[in-house]
Amino acid sequence: MKIIFATGNQGKMKEIREIMADLNMDILSMKEAGCDVDIDENGTTFEENALIKARAIASVMTDAIVLADDSGLEVDYLNKEPGVHSARFMGEDTSYDIKNKAIIDKLEGVEDSKRTARFVCVIAAVYPDGTETTVRKTIEGQIGYEIKGENGFGYDPIFYVPEFGCTTAELTMDQKNKISHRGKALMAVKEEIRGKFS
């Protein structure tokens, strides 16, 4: 059995290969599978967007397990925005330095207990028999008061995790993958696949 992951992002491919290595299945990116479809992520939930991507690939790759993820940052004080708009927030080409500063500014004067936020990751799976599933995993944290840390990407420098006493941009990649929304969702999907094919 082959797994195709609907992404062009090499970082995500590395993470999924590491986590799913013990399934002993071939894991291919869309490009490696020779699949080039343009997908419009126009859903209003992470689940819808992940399913839109997985279904689009599954419609042309019918003999593989197709996985697709959708993720983002929910800030409770901002009514869970940027949410599904995380990549597009303030424009796709705007730097994360600017986006992160803007979120800190929007929370100016807001007390700790109201700064709660989470990274969400939904992974959709479409199986060769047509079965569809989604898993949602989160990591809970708070919006910090300043930009801190050099690791990670996106909103990591403002995402403070109280248990670790630092932002996710101050964790190593291994530390972050063990506790992150995406790491946990990939582990859950791995167990789902193992359950179906062993």
Kindly tell me which residue out of 73, 103, 125, 193 binds ligand IMP, with binding defined by CB under 6 A: 73
Among 21, 87, 98, 173, binds ligand IMP (CB under 6 A): 87
Give me the catalytic one of 26, 70, 97, 174: 70
Compute how many other C-beta atoms are within 10 angstroms of the C-beta atom of residue 66.
28
Q: Any catalytic annotation for residue 70?
A: yes
Rounded-to-integer distance, Cα 184 and Cα 182, Å:
5
Among 126, 180, 189, 190, binds ligand IMP (CB under 6 A): 180
Minimum gap (Å) between residue 154 Cβ and ligand IMP: 3
Contact flag: residue 183 with ligand IMP (CB under 6 A): no
To which H or E segment does residue 104 belong? helix 96-106
Instruction: Count the residues of the shown chain that bind ligand IMP, applying the rule CB under 6 A.
Output: 14
Which phi-psi region, left, alpha or beta, contains residue 109 (left: φ > 0; alpha: ψ -120 to 50)?
A: left
State the Cα–Cα distance between residues 176 and 11, nearest whole angstrom.
13
Q: Is 5 in the site for ligand IMP (CB under 6 A)?
A: no
Q: So which residues are the catalytic ones? A: 70
